[in-house]
Amino acid sequence: METVTGGAPPAPRRGEPREAEVRLPSPARSGPDGAGAPWWRGAVVYQVYVRSFRDADGDGIGDLAGVRAGLDDLARLGVDAIWLNPCYPSPQRDHGYDIADYRDVDPVYGTLADLDALIADAHARGIRVVMDIVPNHCSDRHPWFRAAVAADPGSDARSRFLFVDSDGSDEPPNAWTSVFGGSAWTRVPDGSADPQWYFHAFDSSQPDFDWSAEDVRAGFDDILRFWFDRGVDGFRIDVAHGLVKRTPLPIDDPSQDGLWRQGGVVDVYRRWRRIGDSYRGSDGGDEPRYFIGEAWADDPAFLRSITAPDALHQSFAFALLIQPWFAHRLRAAIDASLAAAGPEGPAWALSNHDVHRLATRLGQERIDRDFDPLDMLSGARRTGPVDPDLGLRRARAAAALLLALPGTVYLYQGDELGLFEVLDLPDGARQDPIWRRTGGRELGRDGCRVPLPWTADGPSMGFGPDDGAAPWLPQPEDYRGHARDRAENDPASILALHRRLIALRRDLVGSADGLEWIDPAPPGVLAFAVGGLVCATNTEGADAAWRPPAGARLVLSTCDGAEPGVVPGDSTTWYALDA
Ligand code: NOJ
């Protein structure tokens, strides 16, 4: 057996599998120097896209009170933490990734008091709260950008952003394109004698900060402290590979390489880590705060550098997310991600609010080739015919594979209900700037953000009150079949499967940080041991003959009729190793 580890020595936890809920220590009791591993090692983090989770006030848009109302369901699911997508005041041009005020809550989502109450309620259930910080850019309504636009070229106010002079023509400084389509430059102010262009990696309403400006750095230090002081347990860092650009901005280089993955970003994260670590032992708790980066990168050295022991704790292992459903490709991505992870291990996700839903992707035609991790469209936002039965069967198998992996696991809301991408939203309903900026060439991401179905009945399927406004994106009728209330009472549902996987993971995988491949395995079968668990996933349609090591006991299969000695097609089987 080949051993692959992600960093620190393994700390396997073994025991009898049981469904009973076992909670991690509450925030007040645990800590790195106290009861073992820090909370994020081995944790399951549930991603809450607030806008689409649950609407308590009936305006058709999810809110923080709705998240509070759903906490018991999340506690029953067994998650250790929630990650909230941005809920700061924002014009919502990119649904919160365009922040106008980093120290408040958008009224559409509630108030600061609602957030405080959510943190308190979550902590009372042993659930940590991770917020989303967007440091690469802000909204064009942010006071700093408004001041910059009002100020002269060369002013201090403009030095916080990436302004460059115009040559007097209507042409932008170069042909750089925005990630969302169209030019990466917008000119301000319109009609002025000395117009300048500002750079935006995303929408024109999202001007990029210049991170070489010290007051940008100092400003974010204060923002972090503001939220940590309120009890926020950590941050997911948006565009973590993009903050720092090559200086001076290489505008003569058409490649755009100087915009991403610059080594200097690690200095920012070292600074943040010192702030997060300073909370250890303070405010009545004893926990450092946690940082995870959203870094799309194909360079392991860069990923390792940002998760050095004095920088971020983790960055997402996106290499796995983009893989087609082939055992050899999944294995290679797992190996690469373990090798690229820092001492706190990898953070795995198969889905999020930027890619097509897992069940849809897995129900599409498989293509056995490399996908570019920097091009989500090819790997994770493909269109094409979908076989829903196959997609769901594989989504169950994929969930069991994901939840067997050592490290931290992120689940995207709705995947526990087996939701599919809504590919046929009416054009008029679509809101993603990608749809707008590509003139409809790309569908964008609305289809994975459709409000959740809580009940099979009711006009908004329990997303909001029955007499409330219609959900901000229309829910397809077939979402009723995925409703949480129906799944709750069905022991064969994908929700019941997730609950069982998470409970078993706690006992069998725990905070183990390495896995051992079990070879040989038949073609199409991925088999490994981790902590006290053996996991075997068959990515082919036909059953495979495969036996786990002696002493391993079958505890779970993602499909009916699994027997020791066979891994049914497109399924995963879990075995417990007797201690
Ligand atoms: C990544 C976020 O996940 C995505 O939703 C957002 O549009 C971009 N960053 C820009 O902030």
Handedness of CA 561, 565, 566, 572 (dihedral sign): positive
**Does any ligand 1 atom lie closer than 6 A to the CB of residue 97?**
yes
Q: How many helices (H) and strands (E) does the chain have?
A: 16, 19
Average pLDDT estimate for 156-178: 94
Average pLDDT estimate for 497-503: 98
Average pLDDT estimate for 561-572: 92
Is residue 337 within 8 A of residue 317, CB to CB? The reply is yes
Cα 93 to ligand 1 centre (Å): 11
Mean pLDDT (the chain, rounded): 92
Average pLDDT estimate for 439-460: 97
Cα 424 to ligand 1 centre (Å): 22
Cα 426 to ligand 1 centre (Å): 23
Greater confidence, 559 or 191? Answer: 559
pLDDT above 90 for 31: no
Average pLDDT estimate for 453-482: 98
CA 35 to chain CA mean position, Å: 27
Task: For 24-41, give the DSSP string.
Answer: PPPTTT--TTSSSS-TTT
SS3 string, 134-189, reads: CCCECCCCCHHHHHHHHCCCCCCCHHHECEEECCCCCCCCCCCECCCCCECEEEEC
- Tokens read off for 362: 């897995």
**Does any ligand 1 atom lie closer than 6 A to the CB of residue 376?**
no
> Which residue's alpha carbon is at the smallest distance from atom 5 of ligand 1?
354
Helix (H, G, I), strand (E, B) or coil at 278: coil
> Which residue's alpha carbon is at the smallest distance from atom 4 of ligand 1?
354
**Does any ligand 1 atom lie closer than 6 A to the CB of residue 238?**
yes
**Does any ligand 1 atom lie closer than 6 A to the CB of residue 94?**
yes
Task: For 484-553, give the DSSP string.
Answer: HHHHHT-TTSHHHHHHHHHHHHHHHTTT--EEEE-S---TTEEEEEETTEEEEEE-SSS-EEE-PPTTEE
Report the range of poorest mean pLDDT among 157-171, 473-487, 519-533: 157-171
Is residue 343 within 8 A of residue 312, CB to CB? The reply is no
Cα 239 to ligand 1 centre (Å): 7
Handedness of CA 320, 322, 323, 325 (dihedral sign): positive
> Shortest CA distance to 212 belongs to which of 258, 274, 176, 174?
258
pLDDT above 90 for 194: no
Q: Which DSSP category does 14 fall into?
A: -
Handedness of CA 270, 276, 282, 283 (dihedral sign): positive
Task: For 363-423, give the DSSP string.
Answer: TSPP--S---TT-HHHHHS--S---HHHHHHHHHHHHHHHTTSSSEEEEETTGGGT----T
Assign 167 a pLDDT band (cuts: 50, 70, 90): confident
The separation between the first and the last C-alpha atoms of the chain, rounded to the nearest angstrom, is 19
Average pLDDT estimate for 26-45: 64
> Which residue's alpha carbon is at the smallest distance from atom 11 of ligand 1?
97
Assign 170 a pLDDT band (cuts: 50, 70, 90): confident
- What's the confidence (pLDDT) of residue 6? 34
Taking only the tens place, the pLDDT of each residue in 195-223 is 899 999 999 999 999 999 999 999 999 99
Cα 306 to ligand 1 centre (Å): 19
- Tokens read off for 386: 């979908």
Average pLDDT estimate for 114-140: 98
pLDDT above 70 for 5: no
Taking only the tens place, the pLDDT of each residue in 237-268 is 999 999 999 999 999 999 999 999 999 999 99
**Does any ligand 1 atom lie closer than 6 A to the CB of residue 463?**
no
* Alpha-helical segments (H) within 290-387: 300-306, 318-321, 327-340, 358-362, 376-380
- What's the confidence (pLDDT) of residue 191? 66
Amino acid at 394: R
- Tokens read off for 173: 């400084």
Q: Angle CA(472)–CA(234)–CA(420) in degrees, nearest 5?
A: 35
pLDDT above 70 for 18: no
Assign 271 a pLDDT band (cuts: 50, 70, 90): very high
Assign 15 a pLDDT band (cuts: 50, 70, 90): very low
Assign 282 a pLDDT band (cuts: 50, 70, 90): low
**Does any ligand 1 atom lie closer than 6 A to the CB of residue 98?**
no
- What's the confidence (pLDDT) of residue 564? 83
CA atoms within 13 A on the CB side of 190: 0
**Does any ligand 1 atom lie closer than 6 A to the CB of residue 134?**
yes
> Which residue's alpha carbon is at the smallest distance from atom 2 of ligand 1?
238
**Does any ligand 1 atom lie closer than 6 A to the CB of residue 354?**
yes
